[in-house]
Amino acid sequence: MQQGQTFLVLRRLLARIRDIMAGEGDPQDRLNRLVAVIAADTAAEVCSVYIRRAGDVLELFATHGLRSTAVHSTRLRFGEGLVGEIAASARPLALAEAQNHPSFAFRPETGEEIYHSFMGVPVLHGGRVVGVLAIQNVQPRRYADEEIEALQTVAMVLAELVGRGDLIAREEMVPTVGIALVPVRLEGVSFNDGIGFGTAVLHQPRYMIRRLVAEDTRVEHDRLRQAVGEMHGALDEMLRADDLSGGGEHREVLEAYRMIAEDVGWLRRIGEAITSGLTAEAAVHKVNNDIHARLGSVSDPYLRERVHDLEDLASRLLQHLVGAEDAAPELPEDEDWVLVARNLGPAQLLEYDRSRLRGLVLEQGSPNAHVAIVARALDIPVVGQAQEALSRVAPGDVVIVDADHGQVIVRPDDDVRQAFAESLRARNERQAAYATIKDQPAVTGDGERVLVNMNAGLLVDMTHLDECGADGVGLYRTEVPFLVRSEVPDVEAQTRLYGKVLDYAADKPVTFRTLDVGGDKLLRSWASGEDNPAMGWRAIRVSFDRPAILRQQLRALIRAAADKDLRVMFPMIANVEEFDHGRRLLDRELERERRRGSVMPSSVRVGAMIEVPSLLFQLDALLQRVDFVSVGTNDLVQFLFASDRVSARLHERYDELSPVVLRVLRDIAQKSDAAGVEASVCGEMAAQPLGAMALLGIGFRNISVAPSGVPAVKLMVGSVMLSPLTEYMERLYDENQMSVRQKVRAFALDHGVTI
DSSP 323-378: --SSPPPPPPTTS-EEEEES---HHHHHTS--SSEEEEEESS--TT-HHHHHHHHT
**pLDDT at 242 (0 to 100):** 53
Residue 398 CA to residue 414 CA, distance in Å, equals 11
Of residues 221 and 12, which shows the higher confidence score? 221
Give the helix/strand (H/E) hosting 414. Answer: helix 414-437
Mean pLDDT of 324-350: 73
In which element (H, E) is residue 232 found?
helix 217-239
* DSSP code string of 590-630: HHHHHHTTPPPPSEEEEEEEE-SGGGGGGHHHHHTT-SEEE
Torsion of CA 83, 86, 88, 91, to 10 degrees: -170
Q: Which residues pair with 195 in a beta bridge?
A: 402
Quick one: the chain helix, strand, coil %, rounded to 5? 50, 15, 35
Residue 244: pLDDT over 80:
no
Q: How many CB atoms lie within 10 A of CB 659?
A: 16
Task: Please give the mean pLDDT across all residues of the chain.
Answer: 81
Q: Among 357-361, 404-408, 542-546, 586-590, whose mean pLDDT is lowest?
A: 542-546
* CATH T-level fold of 3-172: Beta-Lactamase (3.30.450)
Helices (H) and strands (E) in the chain, counts: 26, 23
Helical packing angle, 3-22 and 27-41, nearest 10°: 160
Q: Which residue has the higher pLDDT, 111 or 267?
A: 111
Query: What is the pLDDT averaged over residues 746-755?
Result: 92
DSSP H or E segment with residue 488: none
Q: Do residues 367 and 191 lie in contact, with contact meaning Cβ atoms separated by under 8 Å?
A: yes
Q: Which of 285, 308, 370, 464 is catalytic?
A: 370
Query: Cβ-count burial of 671 within 10 angstroms (0-12 exposed, 13-18 middle, 19+ buried)?
Result: middle
Catalytic residue chosen out of the listed positions 125, 250, 285, 682: 682
243 pLDDT band, cuts 50/70/90, is low
* Domain spanning 184-204+328-409: CATH superfamily: Phosphohistidine domain (3.50.30.10)
Model pLDDT, residue 180 = 37
Q: Are 338 and 198 in contact (CB under 8 A)?
A: yes
User: In which band, very low, low, confident or very high, does the pLDDT at 250 lie, cut at 50, 70 and 90?
Assistant: very low
Over 60: is that where the pLDDT of 663 sits?
yes
Q: What is the CA radius of gyration of the chain?
A: 29
Q: Which CATH architecture has domain 217-322?
A: Orthogonal Bundle (1.10)
Q: Which residue has the higher pLDDT, 102 or 535?
A: 102
Residues of the chain with CATH 1.10.274.10: 217-322
- Is the pLDDT confidence value at 709 over 90? no
pLDDT at 576 over 70: yes
Asked if 203 and 323 touch (Cβ cutoff 8 Å), the reply is no
Q: How many other C-beta atoms can be found within 10 angstroms of the C-beta atom of residue 353?
A: 8
The model's pLDDT over 720-744, given as tens digits with 9 standing for 90+, comes to 999 999 999 999 999 888 899 999 9
Given a cut of 90, is residue 570 above it in pLDDT?
A: yes
- Among the residue ranges 287-296, 584-593, 634-643, 734-743, the one predicted with the least confidence is 287-296
List, as one string, the DSSP characters of 104-133. Answer: ----GGGTGGG--EEEEEEEEETTEEEEEE
Q: Which residues contact 527 (CB under 8 A, 6 or more apart)?
A: none
Best-predicted range by mean pLDDT among 142-151, 456-465, 482-491?
142-151
Cβ atoms of residues 136 and 118 within 8 Å:
yes
438-469 b/e (C-beta count within 10 Å ≥ 16 → b): eeeebebbeeeebbbbbbbbbbbbbbbbeebb
Q: Contact at 8 Å (CB) between 255 and 239?
A: yes
Asked if the model's pLDDT at residue 492 lies above 60, the reply is yes
In the chain, CATH 3.30.450.40 covers 3-172
Q: In the predicted model, is pLDDT for residue 248 greater than 70? A: no
Stronger pLDDT, 463 or 79, i.e. the higher one: 79
Strand pairing class (628-631; 678-681): parallel
Amino acid present at 300: D
For 242, residues 6+ apart whose C-beta sits below 8 A from its C-beta are none
| Ranges of CATH 3.50.30.10 domains, the chain | 184-204+328-409
CB 631 within 8 A of CB 593: no
Reduce the DSSP state of residue 391 to 3 states and report it. helix
Beta bridge partners of 337: 199, 357
Active site residue 468: no
HEC-encoded secondary structure of 715-733 = HHHHHCCHHHHHHHHHCCC
- Evaluate whether 568 touches 512 at the Cβ level (below 8 Å): yes
Contact 498, 557 (CB under 8 A): yes
* CA pair distance 612, 369, nearest whole angstrom: 29
Distance (Å, whole) CA 532 – CA 302: 22
Angle of helix 217-239 relative to helix 280-295, nearest 10 degrees, comes to 70
Mean pLDDT of 426-436: 77
Residues of the chain with CATH 3.20.20.60: 441-711
Q: Is 682 a catalytic residue?
A: yes
Picking from 463, 293, 294, 505, the residue whose alpha carbon sits closest to that of residue 377 is 463
Q: Greater confidence, 278 or 521? A: 278
Nearest CA to 601 out of 589, 610, 612 is that of: 589
Interval 496-537: pLDDT, tens:
989 999 999 998 999 999 988 654 444 444 444 555 656 766
C-alpha to C-alpha distance for 466 and 422, rounded to whole angstroms? 30
Say which residue, 509 or 369, is predicted with more confidence: 509
Q: What is the mean pLDDT of residues 465-482?
A: 85
Alpha-carbon distance of 320 to 225, in angstroms, equals 11
* Predicted pLDDT at 574: 92
CATH 3.30.40.10 for the 441-711 domain, yes or no: no
Q: For the chain, report the end-to-end CA distance as a whole number of angstroms.
A: 32
Q: If we measure between CA atoms, which residue out of 283, 285, 306 comes closest to residue 296?
A: 306
What does pTM read for this prediction? 0.55
| Mean pLDDT for the stretch of residues 149-153 | 76
3-state secondary structure of 75: strand
Rounded to an integer, what distance in angstroms lies between the CA atom of residue 644 and that of residue 50?
Answer: 37
